[in-house]
């Protein structure tokens, strides 16, 4: 009897409270005396044109210190929109030196620090912006992201809470708080945040994908499929949404549709280990074990430290009757993740098929210690003990399997055999009858 395979961890989407560059701050009052190039800069839409015009504006020598800071701030925004974050940082840095009470410039210097991989320095800037503007929701949101990047999830959540308290209709903060709650295992609260974010911004595919991942973790697989489908509708080339819908469909037993989804995911991203892994799972469940092996080989090549990929490849080898190869892969999975109960249980099953019943019993016992409600491990240990003539212990194992799965006809049938071997004819007869009843109950009616 096979052990139900574990659910691989979902791949995380990048969390995105966008690092707001902010609206342009007028460099100076738009009067007749203002340099024309400065007015032209304010009207420009193209970021490179803005950089060029603000540079000319800053070089006129006709600006006050306050206006010079605002010009540098606006040029920094333009550099940020061009992805030139070091240049953006330099402009915001000069702006706050010229105008120390410039909250927006501190905020955007923090955004540049985040983009440059300096979350601790970014936190200092966001904190200064908040000190100058205690109602600055964007600064709380982005400081939350910086805390999250440092693994300080409690502080991150507090900042997202504050951002939402200041601006209840802030979709980016709701989205980020949802992701943070999901990281903390608060999946239903995460769903509620994503739902609010979607109501405010129904055109953001990442929100649907994140809600879909939370739905998977809550066991609501059909809802997850619907969310990933909406994400794909909004962004057809999102490999991750295709792969996650494949994963949800695997949970629903829709293996052929799962293969289609994961095939699209690897077409869009040929280096996507998670997609190969999940396509391999679907193919394995369809009995396509050789094709599944190819997928697991590719997943392992891309992620050699993934215990679940070795586990699933072991399942595929087991499906092909290659017990020795299966044992090797289950052993690799156990080495990478020693608490993977299913790997012990299935290695025990493979050892049992080779007649190695003592080793099998050891593995089933380890699986049970790690996961005491694993009915299949009790059942299979009972079978191994019966094979060694340990019928009394076999009865105990089959009894435990039945306690966990009261409608398991096979467990009753095997316990009947063990009772019979012990000369317990009445118990054997009762179990055999119950096994027959359950088997007939499970058969389709003609």
Structure tokens at 113: 């620090």
Question: Given this structure, which CATH class describes domain 381-446?
Answer: mainly alpha
Structure tokens at 387: 């094979």
- Cα 175-176-181 angle, rounded to 5 deg: 100
* Superfamily, domain 1-184: Tetratricopeptide repeat domain (1.25.40.10)
Closest CA to 181 of 146, 162, 154: 154
Q: Which residues, in sequence order, are CB contacts of 192 under 8 Å at separation 6+? A: 178
pLDDT in tens, 383-415: 999 999 999 999 999 999 999 999 999 999 999
Closest CA to 70 of 32, 39, 102: 102
Cβ–Cβ under 8 Å, residues 331 and 323: no
pTM value? 0.83
Domain boundaries in the chain? 1-184, 381-446
Q: Looking at the predicted structure, is the pLDDT value of residue 14 above 90?
A: no
Per-residue pLDDT at 23: 45
Q: Is 219 exposed, middle or buried (0-12, 13-18, 19+ CB in 10 A)?
A: exposed
pLDDT in tens, 178-189: 999 999 999 999
Q: How far is Cα 424 from Cα 427, in angstroms, rounded to an integer? A: 6
Per-residue pLDDT at 10: 32
Rounded to an integer, the average pLDDT of 363-377 is 97
Q: How far is Cα 147 from Cα 295, in angstroms, rounded to an integer? A: 37
- Residue 442: band (very low, low, confident or very high) from pLDDT cuts 50, 70, 90: low
Q: How far is Cα 376 from Cα 139, in angstroms, rounded to an integer? A: 52
Return the number of other C-beta atoms located less than 10 Å from residue 437's C-beta. Answer: 13
Cα 5 → chain centroid: 18
Q: How far is Cα 132 from Cα 125, in angstroms, rounded to an integer? A: 11
Average per-residue pLDDT for the chain: 92
Per-residue pLDDT at 61: 87
- Residue 12: band (very low, low, confident or very high) from pLDDT cuts 50, 70, 90: very low
Per-residue pLDDT at 272: 97
pLDDT in tens, 320-350: 999 999 999 999 999 999 999 999 999 999 9
Ranges 10-14, 24-28, 327-331: which has the least confidence: 10-14
Per-residue pLDDT at 33: 60
pLDDT in tens, 280-311: 999 999 999 999 999 999 999 999 999 999 99
- Residue 441: band (very low, low, confident or very high) from pLDDT cuts 50, 70, 90: confident
Rounded to an integer, the average pLDDT of 425-432 is 96
Q: Looking at the predicted structure, is the pLDDT value of residue 354 above 50?
A: yes
């Amino acid at each position: 009897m096979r052990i139900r395979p574990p659910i691989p961890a979902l791949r995380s989407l990048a969390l995105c409270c966008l690092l707001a560059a902010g609206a342009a701050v007028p460099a100076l009052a738009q009067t007749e005396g203002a340099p024309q190039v400065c007015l032209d800069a304010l009207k420009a839409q193209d970021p490179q044109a803005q950089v060029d015009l603000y540079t000319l504006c800053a070089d006129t020598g006709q600006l006050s210190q306050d206006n010079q800071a605002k010009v540098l701030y606006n040029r920094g925004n333009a550099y940020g929109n061009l992805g030139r974050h070091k240049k953006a940082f330099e402009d915001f840095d000069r702006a706050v030196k010229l105008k120390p009470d410039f909250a927006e410039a501190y905020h955007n210097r923090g955004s540049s620090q985040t983009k440059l991989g300096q979350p601790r320095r970014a936190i200092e800037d966001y904190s200064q912006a908040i000190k100058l503007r205690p109602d600055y929701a964007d600064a709380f949101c982005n400081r939350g992201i910086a805390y999250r990047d440092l693994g300080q999830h409690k502080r991150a959540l507090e900042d997202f809470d504050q951002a939402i308290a200041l601006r209840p209709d802030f979709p980016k903060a709701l989205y980020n708080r949802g992701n943070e709650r999901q990281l903390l295992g608060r999946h239903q609260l995460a769903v509620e945040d994503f739902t609010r974010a979607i109501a405010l911004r129904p055109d953001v595919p990442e929100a649907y994908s994140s809600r879909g991942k939370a739905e998977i973790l809550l066991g609501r697989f059909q809802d997850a499929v619907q969310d990933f489908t909406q994400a794909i509708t909004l962004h057809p080339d999102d490999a991750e949404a295709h792969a996650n819908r494949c994963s949800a469909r695997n949970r629903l037993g829709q293996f052929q549709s799962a293969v289609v989804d994961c095939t699209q995911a690897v077409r869009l991203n040929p280096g996507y280990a998670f997609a190969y892994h999940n396509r391999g799972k679907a193919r394995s469940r369809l009995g396509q074990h050789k094709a599944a092996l190819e997928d697991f080989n590719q997943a392992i090549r891309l992620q050699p430290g993934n215990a679940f990929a070795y586990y699933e490849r072991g399942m595929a080898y087991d499906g092909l009757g290659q017990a020795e190869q299966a044992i090797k892969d289950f052993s690799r999975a156990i080495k990478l993740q020693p608490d993977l109960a299913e790997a012990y249980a299935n290695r025990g099953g493979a050892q049992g098929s080779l007649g190695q019943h003592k080793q099998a019993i050891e593995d089933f016992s380890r699986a049970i210690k790690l996961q005491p409600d694993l009915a299949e491990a009790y059942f299979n240990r009972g079978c191994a003990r019966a094979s060694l003539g340990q019928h009394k212990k076999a009865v105990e194992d089959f009894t435990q399997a039945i306690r966990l799965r009261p409608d398991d006809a096979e467990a009753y049938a095997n316990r009947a055999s063990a009772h019979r071997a012990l000369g317990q004819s009445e118990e054997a007869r009762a179990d055999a009858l119950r096994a027959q009843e359950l088997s007939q109950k499970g058969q389709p009616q003609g």
